[in-house]
Amino acid sequence: METLWIVINVLVLLLLIGILYWMQKKHYSFTKRVFAGLGLGVLFGAILQFIYSADSDIIAKSSQWFNLVGYGYVRLLQMMVIPLIMVSIISAIMNLKGGRNLGKMSGLIIAVLILTTGVAASVGIATTLTFDLSAENIQAGAAEHEQGALLEEKLGDVKEQTLPQQILEFIPSNPFADMTGARRSSTIAVVIFSAFIGIAVLGIDRKHPEQAETFRGMVRALYAIVMRIVTLILRLTPYGILALMAKTIAGTDLQVILDLVDFVLASYVALIVMFIIHLILLSLFGFNPLIYVKKALPVLTFAFTSRSSAASIPLIVQTQNKKLGVQEGIANLSASLGATMGQNGCAGIYPAMLAVMIAPTAGINPLDWTFILTLIVVVMISSFGVAGVGGGATFASLIVLSTMNLPVALAGLLISVEPLIDMGRTALNVNGSITAGLVTGKVMKEVNTDVYKDRNQDIDVMQT
């Protein structure tokens, strides 16, 4: 009987996929199909949980089939992350005239990412204090204790490294191994390796221009192929979001959320406040926030459902370049750097909230200004090299908590609502990357305002 219900659940998912395919054939816009997938996924997941309950075997086994569509799509995007980063950064740098803008471009992007992470940490601290959250008031079960022990174990590797050693990890010693994601800092190592290739091309320009031009032609061809593959994968976005949301909603225990409702609510208040700060920053640089929200919603929706900043890179690049008018090189660089450092949600708000919550258990007054200012600085520094995939927030928290001499095991108390919070954190990470690209583009006069202001524009990847 159980197998029959699983088959029925899978057939319903296929039916919903059929509805999205019908919308595609009827030429509904990409944005409408993305939100249709989101809505259908939430509705289907809620119905499944109502019928079976979140912890039932039927939900667990049905979700395994849903993962073929949902995480299959995410894996396809992750497949293209390293190739896209490499060709994007090489292309962006080698097309700079004389390379004179490279330092300014990179510096501006990194500055926006890190400074907004400091602001995000401040928002997280203020929100935690406003809601009067404390780890002392949270009850721990078996799963929480297990997660706490796992965090303690992970801390061993992190704690043994000094800050210079952690920075040294960013420098690639074997770029081919880093292309496989062998290390936590592999993505940023690939960024550095790709930057050296781009800079080398600029150097060859002066001595052997014909060789440099030959290489440029090869990179342009490779870039065109990579972007075409990305476009093919992006066509699957509505289906991936449908399956991801159905699985997430069906498997989320509402009672657990209610038990930690204060923390969940405080987290989303902080995330929303930081999102508004991003919009204010964009407004100060002359961008209409309403136009921005309309055009950025599809990529933010994907980030929300996939919980992967790295997997969002292809969508971030396309959104910035095609919809918002950001010059291609800046779009590529901000998307790549934003997935490895300065993540406002995972490396900013979340570690700061945890530190303030855990401080009283260590006899530290979280209202002490020395503690608060130290925490903000530590969060900003630790936000370098945070992996843009699931688990990045955990690693950032380990660094922050250990640096502040706080018990890391208590972070395991929130394991039950971690996926729910991570959705909002990832969306904010991606929003920060796009904000950095727009601000940098504006300062460098590399934003096509006509493209940005085109309110009726809806880039449909099905037609590109």
Place of tokens 């990357």: 433
Residue 360 pLDDT class (50, 70, 90 cuts): confident
- Return the higher-pLDDT residue of 440 and 87: 440
Phi, psi angle pair for 341, to nearest 5°: -155, 160
Number of C-beta neighbours around residue 160 at 10 A:
8
pLDDT of 424-447, one tens digit each? 999 999 999 999 999 999 998 889
State the pLDDT at residue 296. Answer: 92
Place of tokens 């020395």: 370
pLDDT of 199-258, one tens digit each? 888 888 888 888 888 998 998 899 889 888 888 888 888 999 899 888 888 887 676 666
State the DSSP string of 358-371: HGGGGT--TT-HHH
pTM (2 decimals)? 0.80
- Which structural domains are found in the chain, ordered by start? 2-463 (1.10.3860.10)
In the chain, the percentage of residues whose pLDDT exceeds 70 is 84
User: Within 101-253, where are the H helices?
Assistant: 102-130, 142-159, 163-168, 175-178, 186-207, 209-234, 237-250
- Return the higher-pLDDT residue of 130 and 390: 130
Does the pLDDT at position 23 exceed 70? yes
State the pLDDT at residue 144. Answer: 44
State the pLDDT at residue 173. Answer: 84
Rounded to an integer, the average pLDDT of 264-292 is 94
Q: Are 195 and 187 in contact (CB under 8 A)?
A: no
Q: Are 60 and 251 in contact (CB under 8 A)?
A: yes
Name the residue type at position 83: P
Number of C-beta neighbours around residue 148 at 10 A:
19
State the pLDDT at residue 460. Answer: 52
pLDDT of 383-408, one tens digit each? 876 655 555 677 777 778 877 888 77
- Whole-number mean pLDDT of the chain? 82
- Numbers of helices and strands, H then E, in the chain: 20, 0
Number of C-beta neighbours around residue 401 at 10 A:
25
State the pLDDT at residue 288. Answer: 93
Residue 145 pLDDT class (50, 70, 90 cuts): very low
State the pLDDT at residue 392. Answer: 63
Residue 128 pLDDT class (50, 70, 90 cuts): very high
State the pLDDT at residue 92. Answer: 76
Report which DSSP code applies to 342: -
